[in-house]
């Protein structure tokens, strides 16, 4: 399982990286990173065909719990996924 701290993730935000925001649509609409793709946990298994196995995806959830599970799921299906520790909650706290 590959993971990244919120501090290291923040440094990458200046680059062009692929971010999957797996929170529900309401949470995504309320607040999200501009480059993040909304792919809620409930719909993700049916949307794997939209992902590229040559791309590294940073998985972002509210607090990082679900992103760890989804990153492992994606890695088990041949994708390159990295769990963002602490999720949007930690990102918001780090920006304060």
Q: Specify the pLDDT at position 1.
A: 62
Q: What is the pLDDT of residue 95?
A: 79
State the pTM of this model: 0.94
Q: What residue spans define the domains of the chain?
A: 2-95
Summarize the confidence of residues 58-86 as an average pLDDT. Answer: 96
pLDDT recorded at residue 34: 92
pLDDT at 83 over 90: yes
Q: Buried b / exposed e across 61-74, counting CB within 10 Å, b at 16+?
A: bbebebbbebbebb
Residue 96: pLDDT over 90: no
pLDDT (tens digit, 9 = 90+) per residue, 33-49?
999 999 999 999 999 99
Domain 2-95 classified CATH 3.30.750.24? no
**pLDDT per residue over 1-19, tens digit each?**
699 999 999 999 988 899 9
The pLDDT, as a whole number, for residue 94 is 86
Report whether pLDDT(68) > 70.
yes
């Amino acid at each position: 399982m590959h993971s990244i701290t919120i501090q290291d993730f923040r440094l990458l935000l200046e680059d062009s990286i692929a971010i999957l925001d797996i929170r529900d649509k309401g949470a995504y609409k309320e607040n999200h990173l501009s480059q993040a793709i909304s792919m809620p946990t409930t719909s993700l298994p049916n949307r794997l065909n939209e992902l590229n196995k040559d791309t590294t995806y940073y998985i972002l959830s509210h607090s990082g719990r679900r992103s760890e599970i989804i990153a492992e799921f994606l890695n088990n299906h041949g994708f390159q996924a990295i769990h963002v520790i602490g999720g949007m909650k930690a990102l918001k706290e780090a920006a304060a």
